[in-house]
Amino acid sequence: MIKGIIFDFDGTIIDTETAWYTAFSEAYEEHGVELTLEQYSTCIGTSLNTFNPYEYLMTDLKLPIDKEDFKRAVQQRHSKLMELETIRPGIQYYLDSAKEVGLRMGLASSSSMEWVEKYLDQLGIRHYFECIRTSDHVENVKPDPELYNQALTCLGIMPDEAVAIEDSPNGSKAAAAAGMNCVVIPNNITSFLEFEPSHHIIESLSHLDFDHVLTRRCFQKTG
């Protein structure tokens, strides 16, 4: 049996990714440019990428756009879209179930602490997490395993005693690099991306029995 669960945040606990893609896509369309999912996906789950959606129109396409105005408009649109988002299916059940059996719970996010705390407080779930590690705590974010390594140390458990819950390829790669089993629950955006076959990939945590994760049964290969 496992001793702890470490959750990703963006796209995993609450689907911030779909709102970001929508906000950026609409902003790009206003300037006659299509933002493809393939292009945008390189920046999902990490801050390390060659594609910066805030700057691409100005730096690569040389469009005469005020960067601060553009950034402000995208963020305002994202905030408006996020008013419609709630905690993803199955997450609350897993938080309650893990707490009931005494699992250690942590959170590892490539976003900033300010960003994570904002939505944890909004959802009323911050108290579930003994340890929160964000981009403010590490030199390298996902897919580097540093966030997970720090969270494991903070919780006092070994990689093979914990399970990561992720939604993106970068996040699942980070968990695997830290030596952890990983349950992947893609959202509307990341469901189109490719994941390593070694992970347990499922549409929603509500479709995965908590006991199967607790006993690691979902990671056992059959056939």
Token pair recorded at residue 87: 């905690």
How far apart are the C-alpha atoms of 60 and 179, rounded to whole Å?
A: 38
Cα angle 58, 64, 68; round to 5 = 65
Taking phi first (over 0 means left), then psi (-120 to 50 degrees means alpha), and beta for anything else, what does residue 90 get? left
Closest CA to 180 of 207, 159, 194: 159
Q: What is the CA radius of gyration of the chain?
A: 18
Write out the catalytic residue numbers: 8, 10
Token pair recorded at residue 211: 């006991």
How far apart are the C-alpha atoms of 178 and 81, rounded to whole Å?
A: 34
Closest CA to 177 of 149, 145, 209: 145
DSSP tally for the chain: helices H, then strands E: 9, 6
